[in-house]
Amino acid sequence: MANLDRESILALDNIRLDLPLAGAGSRCLAGLIDGCGVAVLLFLWLLLCSILAMWVSGGWGLAVGVAGIFLIEWGYFAGMEIATGGRTLGKMAVRLRVVTAEGAEAGAGSLLVRNVVRDVDYLVGVPLMAADPLARRLGDRLAGTLVVHEERQQSVLLGRVPPGWSAREVAIVESFLARAGELRDAATRDEMARLLLSRIERDAPELLAGLDESRAAAPVGALRQALGAEEG
Partner 1 sequence: MDYARFLRLRRPLWDDFGRRLAALRDAPGRRRQAAASSYEEVEKLAFAYRQVLHDHALAATRFPGTGAARQLAALALAGTRRLTRRGVAWRGLRHFVFHTFPAAFHRQLGLLGVAAAVFGVASLLGLVLSAVQPGLGNLLLGPRALAGLAEGRLWTESLTTTVPPAVASSGIATNNLTVALVAWSGGVLAGVVPLYLLVLNGLMLGGVIGITLRYSMAGELLGFVAAHGPLELTLIMVAAAAGLALGRALVTAGDRPRTEAMRQAGNDSLQVVLGCLPWFVVLAVVEARISPDPSLPVTLKAALGLGLLLLFFGAALGPYRAAGDGDGGDGD
Q: Which residues bind partner 1 (CB under 8 A)?
A: 9, 11-13, 15-20, 58-60, 62-64, 66-67, 69-70, 74, 97, 99-100, 102-110, 112-113, 116-120, 138, 141-144, 148, 151, 153, 155-161, 163, 165, 167-168, 170-171, 174, 178, 228, 232
**Minimum distance from residue 207 beta carbon to partner 1 (Å):** 11
Q: Is the dihedral of CA 39, 45, 49, 51 positive or negative?
A: positive
CB atoms within 10 A of CB 49: 21
| 3-state DSSP assignment of residue 57 | coil
Strands (E), 109-152: 145-149
All residues at 6 or more sequence positions from 119 whose CB lies less than 8 Å from its CB, including other chains: none
- Kindly tell me which of 130 and 186 has the beta carbon lying closer to partner 1: 130
**Minimum distance from residue 161 beta carbon to partner 1 (Å):** 5
- Kindly tell me which of 164 and 217 has the beta carbon lying closer to partner 1: 164
Contact 225/193 with Cβ under 8 angstroms? no
- Kindly tell me which of 123 and 130 has the beta carbon lying closer to partner 1: 123
**Minimum distance from residue 64 beta carbon to partner 1 (Å):** 7
- Kindly tell me which of 127 and 186 has the beta carbon lying closer to partner 1: 127
**How open is the CA angle 83-85-110, to the nearest 5 degrees?**
95
